[in-house]
């Protein structure tokens, strides 16, 4: 602890984000680590409660926490689909409640990341700590069908008092304390690199596609493979699949029988992922459920036109055939039709769309995010 730092300039984070201690170093989920590094511009210290993850494979998507101004508080991880695992979650609540309560009572500014069990406990505590300022970030879809416990959290967030600000994906609420907020994913360097890629990108030759996300049917990887199963289009180049999951090997086997060339990259760090965006022209995201995926903001910045299912608030950013494509209904037949339209797009139309999307993607910068938190959430200026 930095004993000379006032608690008024510290932020407590309550989440179920995975974190790890490995070879004497601290690691956590990469995108969240980057987000908090930017929050250090407005807070002197971040104390971060999360779940201890002991799976070494997770290091592929974890980043080292370098700053000494970020302190981590690992909680014992609970959860799972089996009944016994759900019972363990319930039995862990007294431990979770006390662990979170003893920190909440010490801090003026508290940030929760939901849907999660630690965040839910913090939501409840916000009712009893009226003089503290809470910022609850709901990462899932605000409107689509969701599991029972997600609905419980959404309903509670709608009823919290004036000491709680809630940020959500999309513009759905008129209540002043519930704000639409873009998920940050772009640095100043990303913007500069995106501008360089924009100048070079064209569809004068073969058209490449990419997918970025977990490899499972919920993300629509099966839809992608089914859509490309009957293609015979010489304009299509390569399809890059970035991500991992239990179904990966099955997808690889299925892709071997297709005419088009599929590359399964596994998890990639940001710099490697940017190279995939740079070499692709369209992003494929036929997901069955989303909050608002950061990959859309990244793709727009790096001149990949999004082809996405119309879930959550995605249609508030992507207008069908204007700056991307919406897969409605979300199935292989519709995606195949859209891919055919994409491969026949003229270079002039392609260039106009990627230029406009580059401007739109400025909403997803970390600088924009931090400024809004400082002025609209915590009123620190």
Identify whether 251 is preceded by a cis peptide bond (ω within 30 of 0).
no
Across 289-295, average pLDDT: 91
Average pLDDT, integer, range 54-67:
90
pLDDT (0 to 100) of residue 7 = 56
pLDDT tens string 193-232? 999 999 999 999 999 999 999 999 999 999 999 999 988 7
Q: What is the pLDDT of residue 210?
A: 98
Q: What is the DSSP letter of 267?
A: S
Domains of the chain: 7-184+366-377 (3.40.50.2000), 188-363 (3.40.50.2000)
Q: Using one digit for the tens of pLDDT, what is the confidence trace for 147-173?
A: 999 999 999 999 999 999 999 999 999
Per-residue model confidence (pLDDT) at position 1: 36
User: Are 294 and 307 within 8 A, CB to CB?
Assistant: no
d(CA 244, CA 266): 5
Dihedral sign for Cα 343, 274, 42, 113, please. positive
Q: 209, 198, 203: which is closest to 354 by C-alpha?
A: 198
**58 half-sphere exposure, CB direction, 13 A CA radius:** 18
Give the chain's end-to-end CA distance (angstroms, integer). Answer: 25
pLDDT digits (tens, 9 = 90+) for 90-115: 899 999 999 999 999 999 999 999 99
Provide mean pLDDT across the span 235-251: 95
pLDDT, residue 4, reads 40
Cβ proximity of 189 and 363 under 8 Å: no
Average pLDDT of the residues in 254-271? 93
**Does the structure show a pLDDT above 50 at 283?**
yes
Tokens of 34: 């980057």
Q: Containing H/E element for 11?
A: strand 10-22
Residue spans of beta strands (DSSP E) within the chain: 10-22, 25-29, 45-52, 62-64, 70-75, 109-114, 133-138, 164-168, 178-180, 207-212, 236-242, 261-266, 282-285, 305-309, 325-327
Structure confidence at residue 61 as a pLDDT band (50, 70, 90): confident
Q: Which are the contacts of 230, defined by CB distance < 8 A and separation ≥ 6?
A: 336
The pLDDT-based confidence of 2 (bands split at 50, 70, 90) is very low
Q: Which residues does residue 236 pair with via DSSP β-bridges, in sequence order?
A: 207
The first and second tokens of residue 80, run together, are 């799972």
CB count within 10 Å of CB 317 equals: 21
> Quick one: pLDDT band at residue 139, thresholds 50, 70, 90?
very high
């Amino acid at each position: 602890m930095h004993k000379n730092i006032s608690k008024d300039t510290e932020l407590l984070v309550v989440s179920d984000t995975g974190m790890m201690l490995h070879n004497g170093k601290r690691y956590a989920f990469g995108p969240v680590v980057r987000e908090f590094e930017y929050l250090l511009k407005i807070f002197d210290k971040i104390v971060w409660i999360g779940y201890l993850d002991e799976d070494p494979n997770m290091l592929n998507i974890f980043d080292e926490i370098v700053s000494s101004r970020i302190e981590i508080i690992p909680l014992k991880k609970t959860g799972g689909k089996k009944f016994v695992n759900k019972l363990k979650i319930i039995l862990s609540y007294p431990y979770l409640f006390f662990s979170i309560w003893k920190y909440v009572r010490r801090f003026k500014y508290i940030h929760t990341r939901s849907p999660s069990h630690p965040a839910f406990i913090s939501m409840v505590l916000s009712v009893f700590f009226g003089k503290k300022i809470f910022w609850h970030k709901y990462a899932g879809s605000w409107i689509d069908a969701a599991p029972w416990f997600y609905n419980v959290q959404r309903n509670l967030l709608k009823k919290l008092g004036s000491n709680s600000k809630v940020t959500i994906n999309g513009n759905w609420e008129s209540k002043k304390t519930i704000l639409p907020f873009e998920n940050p994913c772009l640095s100043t360097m990303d913007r500069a690199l995106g501008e360089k890629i924009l100048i070079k990108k064209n569809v004068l030759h073969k058209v490449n596609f990419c997918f970025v996300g977990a490899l499972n049917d919920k993300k629509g990887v099966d839809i992608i493979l089914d859509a490309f199963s009957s293609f015979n289009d010489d304009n299509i180049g390569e399809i890059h699949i970035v991500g991992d999951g239990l179904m990966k090997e099955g997808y690889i086997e299925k892709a071997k029988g297709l005419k088009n060339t599929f590359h399964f990259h596994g998890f990639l760090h940001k710099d490697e992922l940017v190279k995939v965006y740079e070499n692709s022209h369209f992003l494929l995201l036929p997901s069955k459920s989303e909050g608002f995926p950061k990959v859309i903001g990244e793709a727009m910045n790096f001149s990949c036109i999004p082809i996405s299912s119309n879930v959550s608030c995605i249609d508030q950013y992507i207008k069908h055939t204007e700056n991307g494509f919406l897969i409605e209904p979300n199935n292989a037949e519709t995606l195949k039709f859209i891919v055919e339209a994409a491969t026949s797009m003229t270079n002039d139309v392609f260039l106009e769309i990627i230029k406009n999307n580059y401007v739109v993607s400025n909403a997803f910068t970390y600088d924009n995010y931090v400024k809004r938190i400082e002025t609209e959430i915590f009123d620190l200026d």
